């Protein structure tokens, strides 16, 4: 799945992640980056987000990736329009070749630019529709992961004590479960639809967000304006939402990006094995599922879905990476 899914994408932020876990175990590792402090410094000059945008504008790789990603999202959003009015097909309909007969396992040609599959369906049409499913799962998982992860990391980091212990125990539990294996059991047992699948992925992906958020909150908690707010008698809720949450926004944006990438990879792997999105609904992963048996006859089925996954994940990762650099005030 990350392959699998997300575990591997999480490694990307390994530095911070290890610092957070190891720190909890008393390892002598450096403190998490002082995002908050530095952002104040930047705010004195041009404003934090404007400075970030200024840096981003000089980063052609990130901008290019964002443009390609935007294009992919746009095309999948209007997929029904394209397939109906331009290609004159539907994802579940058999297409006919130029000779008027059903086109089954045809290589790319007139009427079916990417060929047809074993049921005579147009690959391009299914590819576009599959993108809707794969991308929805990616973004849904990111939303779930960000909401739960931020809330958990925030209360754990700020309140400490038993809340912290509880959140840490849950993080420990989830990150020690053999993720892919439980995922497969769950999907065999629950036969999940897209929504439920996203929720399951989200449950496995929020600990990564929570760890990062908790690390930032721990350092933000001891800032002077937080102490000032405490002295003035502000409630914990107010301090968390008004004074600490803004510090977390940057890291959350970046982590959310990796959550999207991880979920798309994870979904595709799970669906490829036949445990994720179920046919006839197409996803990039399950389009590849059957292709292995007939790759000698129909190698054209193998390339397009994989390339779409690759391109989408690559763009998401590059944008998240670029955002991280742009939002990191230490990088000038």
Centre a 10 Å sphere on the Cβ of residue 322 and count the other Cβ atoms it contains: 22
Distance CA 94, CA 121 (A): 5
Binding residues for other proteins, rule: CB under 8 A, are 1-4, 7-9, 11-12, 14-15, 18, 22, 25-28, 30, 172-173, 176-182, 184-186, 188-190, 261, 265, 268-269, 272-273, 275, 288, 291-292, 295-296, 299, 302-303, 305-306, 309-310, 313-314, 317-318, 321
Query: Closer to other proteins at the Cβ: 48 or 275?
Result: 275
Please, what is the minimum distance in Å from the beta carbon of residue 4 to other proteins? 6
CA 23/CA 27 separation, integer angstroms: 5
Give the shortest CB-84-to-other proteins separation in angstroms.
29
Q: Least CB distance from residue 276 to other proteins, whole Å?
A: 12
Quick one: angle between helices 48-57 and 60-77, nearest 10?
90
| Residue number, 154 or 270, with CB nearest to other proteins | 270
Residues counted in the chain: 332
- Give 90 or 302: the residue with its C-beta nearer to other proteins: 302
Given the complex with other proteins, which of 188 and 228 has the nearer CB atom? 188
For 31, 173, 187, 292, 315, the CA distances from 137, given in Å and listed in that order, are: 34, 24, 15, 24, 16
User: In this complex, which beta carbon is closest to other proteins, that of residue 236 or of residue 292?
Assistant: 292
Min dist. Cβ of residue 273 to other proteins (A): 6
Tell me the two tokens of residue 44.
């004195």
CB of 137 to other proteins, least distance (A): 14
Over the range 77-112, which residues count as b (16 or more CB within 10 Å of their CB) and which as e? eebeebbeeebebbbeeebebeeeeebeebeeeebb
């Amino acid at each position: 799945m990350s392959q699998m899914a997300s575990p591997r994408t999480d490694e990307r932020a390994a530095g911070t992640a290890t610092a957070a876990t190891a720190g909890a175990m008393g390892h002598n590792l450096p403190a998490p980056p002082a995002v908050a402090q530095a952002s104040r410094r930047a705010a004195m000059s041009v404003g934090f987000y404007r400075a970030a945008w200024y840096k981003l504008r000089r980063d052609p790789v990130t901008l290019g990736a964002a443009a390609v990603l935007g294009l992919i999202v746009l095309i999948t959003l209007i997929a029904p329009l394209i397939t109906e009015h331009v290609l004159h097909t539907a994802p579940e309909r058999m297409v006919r070749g130029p000779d008027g007969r059903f086109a089954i396992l045809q290589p790319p040609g007139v009427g079916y630019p990417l060929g047809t599959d074993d049921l005579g369906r147009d690959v391009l049409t299914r590819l576009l529709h599959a993108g809707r499913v794969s991308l929805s799962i990616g973004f849904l998982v990111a939303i779930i992961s960000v909401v739960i992860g931020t809330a958990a990391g925030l209360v754990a980091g700020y309140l400490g004590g038993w809340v912290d212990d509880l959140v840490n125990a849950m993080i420990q539990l989830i990150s020690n479960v053999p993720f892919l294996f439980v995922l497969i059991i769950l999907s065999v047992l629950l036969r999940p639809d897209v929504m439920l699948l996203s929720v399951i992925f989200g449950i496995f992906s929020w600990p990564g967000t929570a760890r990062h958020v908790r690390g930032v909150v721990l350092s933000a908690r001891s800032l002077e304006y937080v102490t000032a707010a405490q002295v003035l008698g502000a409630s914990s809720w107010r301090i968390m939402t008004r004074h600490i949450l803004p510090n977390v926004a940057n890291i959350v944006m970046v982590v959310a990006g990796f959550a999207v990438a991880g979920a798309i990879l994870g979904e595709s792997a799970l669906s490829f094995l036949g445990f994720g999105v179920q046919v006839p609904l197409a996803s990039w992963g399950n389009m590849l599922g059957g292709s292995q048996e007939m790759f000698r006859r129909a190698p054209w089925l193998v390339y397009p879905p994989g390339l779409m996954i690759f391109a989408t994940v690559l763009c998401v990762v590059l944008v998240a990476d670029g955002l991280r650099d742009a939002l990191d005030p230490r990088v000038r």
